[in-house]
Amino acid sequence: MTATHPGLPETGRAAADLLADLAALTATDLPTRGERVSAYVYDTGRPAVRQAAHEAYLAMLEVNGLDPTAFPSVVALERQVIGATATRLGGSDATPGIFTSGGTESIMLAVKAARDARPDIAEPEIVIPITAHAAFHKAGNYLRVRVIAVPVDPTTFKADPEAMAAACTDATVLVVASAPSYAHGVIDPVERIAADAAARGIPCHVDACVGGYLLPWLAEAGADVPPFDLSVAGVTSLTADLHKYGYAPKGASVVLFRDEAMRRSAYFVCASWPGYPVVNSTVQSSKGAGPLAGAWATMQALGAEGYRELGRSTLSATRRLIAGVEAIDGLIVLGKPETALIALGADPASPLDPWALADESRSRGFFLQPQLSAAGLPASLHLTLTGASEQGIDEIVAVLRASADAVRPLGPGTPPADLIALIQELDFSTLDDAGFAALLPMAGIELGGESSGRMAGVNRLLDALPVEGRELLVNRFLSALYSPYLGH
Ligand SMILES: *Cc1c(COP(=O)(O)O)cnc(C)c1O
């Protein structure tokens, strides 16, 4: 079913008509409210806060952040947002920072700053734990910086400071720690990693994209939170996403720098073309001020007391979920989550198929995010709990129990050997998007219709393939998805 009209209409259409199209299109999306999707979306459960953000976003929709001298409102709001963030994360209202479109862009700028601060290094490297977010690999790819990914402790899933120090060379421009890691929700030993880096004169970045607006409040609520922010000696930059536990509309993140020279290395300038002199703090040049205003309004509407309460209920939701999962036969929580991000794994003693479990759970109304096994760490299903999760915990636990009961008799699940053999024989260089799309139903993959949301076959296949095979397939899939050849 296609709700929208193809192409540009000859005559303009009325807004009500357009909104009806959007409503029809989003009807098949995962729901963004109601705590049935515990990843991607962050909900305060407070309609007044959401409304403040929406209205502020629209009020600044047409302001262009390209030129902060033309639109000084952008500077004023950004300074407030950065200052309010930095003062909670070991800095002050004088801490230099940049407001960006998201965690990936913040990380990209932190890596660029570190790279450009060392023009003497011809082939720069960054050292990260293998559990660091993929955004560091993306930064390495975009910025031509080599990424050295170091194994972590296989039981705690935390970075190994000795191994990280040993991986540093004269070409290392940045060492990274996560607070916490996205996949397992554990906090790397930031103090050790930063001290070792500082001893060699290497900057250290803390990726608190998901933790930056959560950990301070969890600590106040009584959780055991080790030092992780700019108050730690040797930490030179930090990223924190407002569009995660800042509860802001998407397109909002912050990168903080210990010193102002580092922020200047993140900037891009160009005065060698015949147009206006370009001086950009971010990857984007022209950019709407809506996300900035939405983030600012969310912070102002919640206030410290709002975040504190959300932190308290997030912590209690997490504890209840972990206790609930521990009582389900066959399911375990990987590591000891220190935040509200939880990786559910199969109990090696009585293994069940996580991918089948995810499908069962989704058929019962709860989306769990699949996380493939990698670098010797097991596959898992991800849950991010928020300040609005608490009232739904009993229901999630009941769904997990029923789903585990349903898949337990099927056993651990076996890799699809035939399909893997078929893929290994295919010549992808001669296969176009149409050809690839035609293969998907044969592999049991159908978008829309009855089997929609049944992803176990795909996940089982991806999990069984080596990294290069996975990356090739998902690249081809994305291109086919946006092509006209896949049923929409
Ligand atoms: C979400 C996240 C990122 C990337 O953020 P985006 O906003 O999706 O670009 C990076 N690091 C961690 C730890 C994250 O949780």
Over residues 35-65, the pLDDT tens digits come to 677 778 898 999 999 999 999 999 999 999 9
Task: For residue 83, count other CB atoms closer than 10 A to its CB.
Answer: 16
Q: Could you give the angle at the alpha carbon of 483 between the alpha carbons of 479 and 487, nearest 5°?
A: 115
Q: How far apart are CA 243 and CA 252, in angstroms?
A: 5
Query: What's the pLDDT score for residue 5?
Result: 55
C-alpha to C-alpha distance for 343 and 323, rounded to whole angstroms: 14
Nearest-atom number in ligand 1 for the CA of 104 is: 9
Distance CA 316, CA 310 (A): 10
Closest ligand 1 atom to Cα of 210 = 15
Kind of pairing between the strands at 253-257 and 341-346? unpaired
Give the model's pLDDT for residue 454.
85
Helices 290-326, 47-59: crossing angle, 10 deg rounding: 150
Give the pLDDT confidence score for residue 38 in this predicted structure: 73
For residue 285, the CA-to-ligand 1 centroid distance in Å is: 21
Task: Taking the CA atoms of 212, 216, 219 and 220 in sequence, report the sign of the dihedral they define.
Answer: negative
Q: Name all residues whose Cβ lies below 6 A of ligand 1.
A: 102-104, 107, 133, 135, 178, 182, 207, 209-210, 241, 253
C-alpha distances in Å from residue 195, one per residue of 113, 175, 232, 401: 20, 11, 9, 44
pLDDT confidence bin for 412, thresholds 50/70/90? confident
What is the pLDDT at residue 225? 97
CATH 3.90.1150.10 fits 304-410, yes or no: yes
For the segment 135-156, the average pLDDT, to the nearest whole number, is 98
Domain-wise residue ranges, the chain: 54-298, 304-410, 417-481
**DSSP codes of every residue in 357-409:** HHHHHHHTT-B-EEE--BTTBPPEEEEE--TT-GGGHHHHHHHHHHHHHHHGG
d(Cα 415, Cα 256) in Å, to the nearest integer?
44
**CA angle (105 as vertex; 272, 205 as ends), nearest 5:** 105
Q: Rounded distance, CA 222 to CA 314, Å?
A: 12
Protein residue whose Cα sits closest to atom 3 of ligand 1:
103
pLDDT digits (tens, 9 = 90+) for 220-261: 999 999 999 999 999 999 999 999 999 999 999 999 999 999
Pocket probe mutation, ligand 1, options 210, 214, 384, max atoms within 8 Å of Cβ: 210
253 CA to middle of ligand 1, Å?
Answer: 9
Which atom of ligand 1 is least distant from the CA of 243?
7
What's the rounded mean pLDDT across residues 406-432?
91
- Ligand 1 pocket test, pick from 184, 241, 338, 386 with the greatest ligand atom count within 8 Å of Cβ, gives 241
Indicate the CATH number for domain 54-298: 3.40.640.10
Contacts by 442-446 with C-beta closer than 8 Å and gap 24+? 443/419, 446/487
